[in-house]
Structure formats: structure tokens, C-alpha cells
Amino acid sequence: MKVFCGRANPTTGAMEWLEEDENYDYHQEIARSCYADMLNDKDRNTKYFQGIRAAVSRVKERGEKAIVLDIGTGTGLLSMMAVTAGADFCYGIEVFKPMANTAVKIVEKNGFAGKIKIINKHSTEVTVGSDGDMESRANILITELFDTELIGEGALPSYEHAHKHLVQEGCEAVPHRATIYAQLVESKRMWSWNKLSPIHIQAEGVQKAIVFPPEMDVCPGAPSVCDIQLNQVPTCDFVPLSEVVPMFSIDFSKPVSRASASYTVKLKPVKVGKAQVVLSWWDIDMDPAGSIKCSLAPYWVQNTFGESPPWRDHWMQCVYFLPNEEPVTQGQSMDLTAFHDDYSVWFKLQKTTHQMKPVCVCQAHLLWNRPRFGELNDWDRTLCYFQALKKVLKPNGVCLSISDGSLLPVLAHHLGAEKVQSCPIYNISVSVPSNTLMIFMANGLEDKITILEKPPELLTPSDFEERKISLLIAEPFFSTSLLPWHNLFFWYARTALESHLTSDVTVLPQSASLHLMTVEFKDLWRIRSPCGTCEGFDMRIMDDMIKNSLDFRESREAEPHPLWEYPCRSTSDPLTVLTFDFQQAIPEHPLTEEGIISVSRCAKSHGAVLWMEYHLAPNVSISTGLVQDSNEKDYCQWTPHCKQAVYFFSSALEPNSPVAVASAVAYAVSFNPATGEVNMDFKPLI
């Protein structure tokens, strides 16, 4: 059966109705899931298995049958661990039907069909009794309902219901408890992801500043957690102002409440500074004694004797921004309060009963993500645009800026542009792009820069007072973009404005180029690695399921990843594959490039990375990808403000493998002007 799905094309801007198979959502869910990552997380799996064995043993020592409830069973792995450990029976609950069906197959494949019952329901809908889903209450509760924030996947409501209706009083629980930790830090880098700082420029011999409205300065920011691979943040990027402290614990073997709560810890500052950010993570004890522990603590906390902490992508660490930075004096104690509701956690640096979650009041945090804030705070990047504008600015002409929430109109005005107009493009329905207007007003430019509240294709000569555009500028940045080439929306906007441009119009950026390079990932490859066997259980059905989902479309697609968080080394030289000339309208025919990449370095190639570079003006370019290539000691450096596109090869290429020697990769990359899609194909040459 086919269904039609509507979506806004992020590159062309057009609304499209795509004919998809009825199982499209299912395939997307599986292809983008973290199942492979979790199944390949040896530390997680080993600790769970140890905790389950210990729990079953404690129940057996009391002379009881071990009846297990596994909430969120997924593949059925933890249920199979329980039966292997000696449990008499296990109920595995999985609400996602395709996953529940797969769990049934995996359980049968491993010979546990008579001991494990998979229930395709949400745990809060499960019933107990002779005619219910479970014959009796369980005395062992196993769960893996945790996300980076611990409670973001609904762990608290699920535990609350389970203790009331599904498990015995005094049951064993695996994990037994969880503890959330926090550390107060000052970090210019991380703070730049949440607050905008004034920008000082020298224009026409005068020092000028671009400032931001008070609403943005006092805004607490987005309510959602900022989850990152904190192990990739160097210690030089932050200053610890306190020791690591446990904020609160949850005992899963006892009744759990979903009610909102707060916990206050008195901190003794270890340094003078500005309190800006709370770094947070959790650990789980698999047994009551705490002898089996799975920890997410970053490298500067864990004493691993030179070894890296276990890598995982399904659980990371949390960055919480305080509502406002506050001075910290060494020796003067402070109260750090952690709050939580059903699904989220937040912090404040004072003892208070006011538990309201931070909510953005300036709209900027709703329109821009954290990397965008970092991008706008990047002085080196702003300087490139400033220098490029100085080279191409035509003071007596009409300047039009097309980007989301860009500072380019302000820069153009300060450089002496006579008439500046801004055409912001947003992915939400607003009558006025208020945060852009707020920035103009804060700089006294509301009467000097005109905001055009129309999409480019609907602009008319009257919008430009019957004049032609002589300078068309963009970063380009659009909030709808996910993959690097989605910002080519600017090219479509430029084409729609063709009749409004002067014959000698200057376009900034002049052009863009798409680059690629093959890489060996330190860890990211694990999210696409085969599951095979896990703790002795046959999980190959899961491999087939993921492969079928990835192959669901006619061609495999690149995925967006922020590679500054995922170390990799290059296995080939960077290569320019496509060039887009913004001085000209979009061509009618596809742009294509085929060639061969020499894999010249003796390492595994897990895939290809693609990124864009924008050529603003002669000798001035901006990269959304590679900043510095890798060498013998260091990994590649990537711009932290953008996600790069990663195309995973179906299997890693190993130049020195006795099975298959791949010294080169054939590639074919094409840009389809009709759809705005970049299609690619890679084949190893053996």
C-alpha cells in the first residue's frame, strides 16, 4: 500500500507530496535507531548481564521463583540474559510493533520461546491476572528506559505504574539505582551556544558595535537539554568552579514518583569565575551494593589509567545553561538546585522553591539551534563576511540579504550601503520575524533596514521601489537545513529574483563547492557495525532488519553528524566534486562528477564525509567542514557550527586486508536542480 507524505523541500523550498510505502515510518525509525550502537556497547551489556545474574541469584537464594518483567525490551536481549541467568519466566514489553515482532523472532531463534513472552503494549496498558497479559506480578524488574538526561524517555511514569500494578513489593531491580551528578563551570565556548555577545567592528574609520536586545540577554534559553559527547571537549574550553557533586538518586527497587521535585546541594567553589554552565551526567548501579556500575562520567572524572571511557552514542552527557551568569567567589558557598518533572531536568544557582522550567522569551532560541548561536558568536567567521562585504559593496545600490536571522544587513549598513533590505526565511508561522526586528531595533536600524515579509518568489518591483538589486548577499544559513547542501536554497531564491537583479549584480557568496574525503572513524562506525552475536546471543536478525531499512530507498543516503564530536582520520586527500555558480541562475540540467579517490593511507575507510565551502569574494571563503586535516598524532578538525554529511560504506575498506585490498574508491556525485537533491554512489576498486 502506498501513502502520500507532504514535506517542505529544504533545498528548493517547495512543498512536495511524496509517494511512500506504508512502512516508510517504520523503516526510518529502524534505520535511524541506536539499536546497533546499544548492541555493540560491550560495557553496557556486560554490566547488565552481571546485574541480572546477581538479581536472579538473590531471588533464588530466598527460595522463590524468578519472574522477570523487562520494560522496553527492544530486541529481547535483556530478557534472554535473564532466562540464561536462571529466571523461570520473563515478560518482555515493547510498545513499538515492528520491534516487538523482531524480538519474537530473535527470542525464537535463540531457543527461548517457551520462557519469554513478548507483549506489544505500553507498560502502562499491561494487565495482570488469569486473563491478563501477565499471570502474576514479577519479582525482578529490568528496564532500559534511559536517555542522556536519564528520565527523558518516560522512565519515571513507567516505574511509578510498574510498582503500583506489575511488580511485587520489595522486588529486585536492574538497575538498582541511578545517580545524577553535576559540576559548575565557566566556559566561554559553551556559553556562546546560549547567549550572543556584542560584536565590535571598525567601519569607515569609526569603531562600531553590533549589540543584541535586552530580551535576548535575559532570556534563559531553550528548555531542552544540550546533549553532546563531552569527552570531545578539551579541558582548556572550560574552568571547573566546583567539584563534581551528586545531585540526587532514584532507587528503582522501591516505589517511584513521577511528581516534580527539587534537590539542593551546597557547593564550595574551588575557583573564582563566572558560573555559566552546569555539566551533568549519571551512573547506574546494577546491584544494591553498587559494585556493578555503569558510568557516563567524562574523561576528567573517571580514573581509567590512561584508557578512554567507554564510547556510546545512545547515552551522552548534558550541558545545562544557567538562566544568567553569576559571579563565584572562592570560599563563599553557593546553593545549586536541580529540578525535574516527568521528563526533564534543569538547574538554578540559588535555593528556591520556584520550579518553573526555563522557557525562551526572545524567540531566538526557538528559531536557532545552539550551533547557530556559536556561529553568530564566532568573530573569525564574522570578520570573513565583513572583509568580503568591503570588497564588493556598492554604496549607491540596493542590497538584499537572504538568510535566517543574519547579521549581514547590519554589516552592510555599517559599511555604507545606501539601501539595505532583509528577506528572512523561517520554518515557523510568524507575522513578523520578530527576533530579526529586535536586533535591528537594538542597533537603531529599524528605519534603515527594511524587512520584506514575503518569500523571494513573491517579491515584486514595488518591494524595491522599482529599483533593481545590485548586491545580493547571504551567509547562507536557513533553519530548515540539515545536510550541508540544503543551504543551496539561496541559489533557488537567487534564481527566483532574476528579474529583480541588475545586469551586473554582485552575489555574495559568488559560488560554493562540495567537497568529500574518505575517513576512518575512531568510534562513530559502531552505529552501523553488524550486531552478529551479543553476549553469546544470535542477533543477526537485527542486522538484516537494519540493512533492509537502510536499503529501503533506491539509494543509501548521507546522514548529518557534528564531526567535532566524533574523531576521525582522513584516508584520502580532500577532493572538490561539484561547483555551484551563484552568479548564474540554476541550470536546467543536473551537475554530475565521477572519478576515483585514491585511498593512500593505511587505515580502514568507514565512509565518506561531504561538506560545503562558500566562496564569498576573491580570496575569502567559509568552510562548513574540514578545518585541518589529520596527521600522525591528531584527528581531523571540523567546524563546530555545522553538521557534516556522512555516507557510510556498506563495509569498511581495508587496504591491507588479505581478503580484499581496496586502494581506491570510485565515486559518482550529482546535483539534481529539479529536486535539489545530491545523490551519490561509492564503489571500492579491488
Q: Looking at the annotation, which residues are catalytic?
A: 144, 153
Dihedral angle over CA of 439, 463, 508, 212, nearest 10: 0
d(CA 124, CA 104): 21
Written as nine digits, the cell of 218 is: 535575559
| Whether 592 contacts 673, CB under 8 Å | no
Tell which residue, 119, 114, 168, has the closest CA to residue 141. Answer: 168
Neighbours of 18 (CB within 10 A): 11
d(CA 613, CA 615): 6
> 336 to each of 275, 333, 412, how far by Cα in Å?
11, 10, 44
The burial class, CB within 10 Å (0-12 / 13-18 / 19+), for 214 is exposed
Helices marked H in 330-452 — which ranges?
364-367, 370-376, 379-392, 408-414, 434-442
Query: Phi, psi (5° rounding) for residue 100?
Result: -60, -40
Tell which residue, 121, 142, 171, has the closest CA to residue 45. Answer: 142
Dihedral angle over CA of 384, 640, 434, 362, nearest 10: -130
Residues contacting residue 641 through CB under 8 Å, at least 6 positions apart: 371, 372, 374, 375, 378, 381, 624
| Whether 570 contacts 636, CB under 8 Å | yes
Tell which residue, 569, 553, 675, has the closest CA to residue 32. Answer: 553
Q: Residue 81: helix, strand or coil by DSSP? A: helix
Chain-centre distance of CA 431, in angstroms? Answer: 29
Tell which residue, 525, 457, 509, 505, has the closest CA to residue 624. Answer: 509
| Whether 418 contacts 397, CB under 8 Å | yes
Tell which residue, 471, 497, 484, 491, has the closest CA to residue 408. Answer: 471
| Omega within 30 of 0 (cis) for the link into 98 | no
637 beta partners: 628
d(CA 153, CA 173): 18
Written as nine digits, the cell of 44 is: 553496557
| Whether 436 contacts 458, CB under 8 Å | no
Neighbours of 108 (CB within 10 A): 15
Q: Encode burial over 348-365: b for 16+ CB neighbours within 10 A, e otherwise.
A: bbeeeeeeeebebebbbb
First to last CA, the chain: 40
Written as nine digits, the cell of 256 is: 517511584
